[in-house]
Amino acid sequence: MDKFYVITNSEKDKDLRTTRRIYDYLREHGKACTVREYQRKGGEAGTGDFRYTDEAWIPEGTECILVLGGDGTLIQAARDTVNRRIPLLGINLGTLGYLAEIETSGVGDALDSLMAEQYTIEPRMMLEGRVYREGRETVQDIALNDIVVNRAGALRIIDYEVSVNGEPLNRYGADGMIISTPTGSTGYSLSAGGPIVSPMASMIVVTPICPHTLAARSIVLSGEDRVTIRLGPGHRAEHEEVFASFDGGGSVPMATGDYVEIEKSEKTVNILKISRISFLEVLRNKMNGN
C-alpha cells in the first residue's frame, strides 16, 4: 500500500501525537498520507450527511483508511466512506475495542505490514433499515453495528410486534429492540444479554431491551431474513412514541402504528486485519480485561 487517508477523533488524540507519528512515519517511507482531523462539535465536519468525514475529501487512489479512536469512531467512519469501498484499519485510542484491533504500541509494526502488503481483508455485513408511517417510507439508512428501536419519554413498557419475512414471530413488552449484525453482537446487544456471533457470519440478531418477562430471549436469524418491528398500541391503547437509531446516531421518531423493516444490506465494510490473532483470542483477552 502506498496511499493512506487518516481519520482522527481529536477527542481521543487531543494533542494529535499519535496522528503526527503515523503521518511522519508514512512520509519518511515515501508514502502519500492525508490527515482529516475530526471534532464532534462544530467545525467543517459538523455539517452535511456525514459524521466523521465526507467521502469526497478522500483523494482518488487511496488504498487504506486509518481510523484513530475507538470502535465508535471506526463504525461512523465506515458508514461515511462505505461507498468508496476502501479498506479500514482501526487504531484503538479508547478503552474497549473489538473492531479497532491495533493498540498505539503496535502502530509501527502495523504500518510496516500494510506497506509490505501483509494483511487480510474481512468484508463485514451491514443492515439496511426503512422506517414507514401510514405505509409510506420516511427514512432509509444503513448500519454496521445495529439498528435500535427504543422508548422515548416516560418510563413505561412499550409493545413491539416482531415479524420475520411477513410471518409474526413474537410480541415483546420491553424498553426497546436491538437488531444487530454479527459485528454489532459485541456491542449494545451483548450488554442487553444477546449472544456473541463470529463477525464473518451472515446472521441477524434480535434482542429485546429489558423485556417484561422471564421467557424473552435473543433470536438469531439468517442473514437473508427480513425483520419487521411495528410499534403496538400499548397496554392502555395509548399513543406511544419511540426512536429508531442507526449505529447510535440520527434518532428517527416513530409512533404507534409505525414500523421499521430491516434486512441485510447489499453494502459491506472492508476491515483490514493485520495480526494473526483469532476472533476468539481477541474476545478472550477483551473479556478477561473487563
Residues with catalytic function: 71
| Share in percent of the chain as helix, strand, coil (round to 5) | 20, 40, 40
The label of the residue with cell 416513530 reads 254
47, with CB counted inside 10 A (0-12, 13-18, 19+), is exposed
Measure Cα distances from 284 to 32, 93, 278, 287, 288 in Å: 36, 20, 10, 5, 6
- Pairing mode, strands 176-180 and 146-151: antiparallel
Report which of 217, 212, 230, 256 is spatially closest to residue 161, judged by C-alpha positions: 230
Angle between the N-to-C axes of helices 107-115 and 17-28, in degrees from 0 to 180, rounded to the nearest 10: 30
Which residues, 6+ apart, have CB-to-CB distance to 230 below 8 Å?
160, 161, 162, 163, 257, 258, 259
The Cα–Cα gap between 140 and 66 comes to 28
- Pairing mode, strands 64-69 and 88-92: parallel
Q: Phi, psi (5° rounding) for residue 217? A: -135, 160
